[in-house]
Chain A
């Protein structure tokens, strides 16, 4: 069985931000842990089938701007940008780590999830992602979406 400490890997110094840039953070190089959470509260918090998170020791992250906080339970807060709404973190009150969202990390960040939680509410369709037809974003698609269905 995998020991929990085996799930931490060294990752490089990095910067993250919300969509609009009002809330940003810096994480120094060192061990981090990449996890997925399918728990229903994580689905609601991200509007998504699961939250993809990077766990970082609190002392290695520096915030710029003022993220809004929502106490999603009596144990933890969820942070988001009050201007653009980007979900930014999950923060346990009684732990010395914070978990940032993968979507707020830079595109090239070496994210490799090693463990999944909340599997009781995993959506069956997430196991078929390989089989869903995929397309790159084309300029014509953008134009057609803007004037058509918004997808």
Chain B
């Protein structure tokens, strides 16, 4: 695996919602990206898969992820207890792409490239302009009362 142009990252952790699966990642080269392909949309239930790729040998997993073979070439891991999508991994298992949402909240994520452009959601650009405010107790109350 040629990682000559990959930037370095510090050691970090990742986990699912319920904490049954934890991944400890050591420092070293990594690459960030987004994939808009239809399989990644299905796998995350979202518009794209945001990921951090590194050699699998740098990841120590605690707990046993459920595995789905999404194609002949790759598998996807998720937590069987809470359903959090965890990673995409080629069947060679040489590298692993960890799902952004499982990473520690302070991980300095900045995607540098995107793939799967053929199925990129058209609404993504417009979504940037939607007015938004922080979640407040009043918002929650009004939503509950009006629906």
| Chain A residues engaging chain B, CB cutoff 8 angstroms | 4-5, 17-20, 36, 39-41, 43-52, 68, 70, 72, 78-80, 82-88, 95, 97, 101-104, 107, 111-123, 125-127, 129-130, 132-137, 141-142, 145-151
- Partner pick for A125 among B35, B51, B111, B130, CB 8 A cutoff: B111
A70-B18 Cα distance, complex, nearest whole Å: 9
Task: Tell me the number of A-to-B contacts counted with CB atoms below 8 Å.
Answer: 234
Interface size on B, residues (CB 8 A): 86
Q: Is the CB of B34 within 8 A of A44?
A: no
A126-B116 Cα distance, complex, nearest whole Å: 17
Q: Is the CB of A104 within 8 A of B101?
A: no
A44/B84 contact (C-beta < 8 A), A4-B143, A146-B90 known = yes
> What are the residues of chain B within 8 A of A43 when measuring CB–CB?
100-101
- Partner pick for B51 among A87, A117, A121, A151, CB 8 A cutoff: A151
A117-B97 Cα distance, complex, nearest whole Å: 27
Q: Is the CB of B45 within 8 A of A101?
A: yes
Q: Is the CB of B112 within 8 A of A19?
A: no
Q: Is the CB of B83 within 8 A of A134?
A: no
Residue in chain A with minimal CB distance to B140: A117
Determine whether B28 belongs to the interface, using a CB cutoff of 8 Å to chain A: no
Q: Is the CB of A87 within 8 A of B85?
A: yes
Q: Is the CB of A129 within 8 A of B128?
A: yes
List the 8 shortest-distance A-B pairs measured between CB atoms, nearest first.
A85-B78, A80-B83, A101-B45, A47-B99, A87-B45, A47-B85, A146-B73, A150-B95
Residue in chain A with minimal CB distance to B81: A70
Of A19, A122, A136, A150, chain B has the most CB atoms within 10 Å of the CB of A150
